[in-house]
Amino acid sequence: MIRYKIGGQTINIKDEFSGVKTIVDFNWEFYGITPEIAQQFLDSLIAHITYVREAGFKLGVPDDQLRYHDLSKFSLEEFPYYARNFLGDKANPDGFASAWLHHIHDNKHHWQHWIFPDSFTPKGSTVENGVVEMPYNYVREMIADWLGASKAYTGSFDMMDWLHKNMPNIRVHSKTATYLRQELDLLGYADVVYLQKFAGEA
């Protein structure tokens, strides 16, 4: 039984997600995956969300915000395409691209959510070359997402290698970069965040 604590309250993850368990009875062959792959992805998704909530609680992410983390992945716009891409035959890359686009548009904890693809920058605004500053709570949720993914897929919350590899590809507002560095420094990643630059930094 998987449990997590939010605000001192112990919650049974299987009880909370009992309704979505029925999605494995869907006709998944239409989407190019088997019921077994659907079940495996469902289990990994629930584990990921559980670890994100654990990390997010420690980082001070609001409880209500954590409860909505990645719930769009249970939708048909995302679930089957993620399952096929990560656990199946990867034979529908366009489907996964659409699912990923849906996900980042629907979830504000992704840095990509805060970027205008055409670099739209209104005169007199604080937007920097099309990049909008992320609210602090979403920055913290983003860090929790990175930590939760590390724990779910590598067995450890230590994301040093991932951060070292991916930091140069992450494009954020200068104020977001400052706050992000401070938070990651507190978590023990100073050797990475102060020796490397985010995408677009001078």
Q: Which residue has the higher pLDDT, 158 or 3?
A: 158
Question: Does any domain span residue 80?
Answer: yes
* pLDDT exceeds 70 at position 24: no
> Quick check: 6 pLDDT over 60?
no
What's the pLDDT score for residue 56? 95
Q: Are 66 and 57 in contact (CB under 8 A)?
A: yes
Number of domains in the chain: 1
Asked whether residue 22 is assigned to any structural domain, the reply reads: no
* Structural domain contains residue 126: yes
Supply the pLDDT for residue 58. Answer: 94
Is the CB of residue 10 less than 8 Å from the CB of residue 54?
A: no
pLDDT in tens, 27-49: 889 999 998 998 899 889 989 99
Q: Give residue 196's pLDDT.
A: 96
Domain ranges, residue 76: 30-202
Burial code (b: 16+ CB inside 10 Å, e: under 16) for 56-73 equals bbebebeeebbeebbebb
Residue 6 lies in a domain: no
- Split at pLDDT 50, 70, 90, the class of 22 is very low
90-136, pLDDT tens digit by residue? 999 999 999 999 999 999 999 999 999 999 999 999 999 999 999 99
Residue 100 lies in a domain: yes
**128 falls within a domain:** yes
What separation in angstroms does the CA of 153 have from each of 110, 141, 148, 157?
18, 18, 9, 10
- Residue 128 to residues 131, 134, 198, Cα–Cα distance (Å): 5, 12, 14
Mean of pLDDT values over 184-200: 96
The band of 16, judged by pLDDT with boundaries at 50, 70 and 90, is: low
Residue 23's pLDDT is 52
Residue 116 inside a domain? The answer is: yes
Mean pLDDT of 188-200: 96
2: confidence class by pLDDT, cuts 50, 70, 90: very low
Q: Report yes or no on 193 lying in a domain.
A: yes
Query: Is the Cβ–Cβ distance between 129 and 114 less than 8 Å?
Result: no
Please tell me the predicted confidence (pLDDT) of residue 3: 47
- Give the residue-averaged pLDDT of 11-35: 66
- Model confidence pLDDT, tens digit, residues 120-130: 999 999 999 99
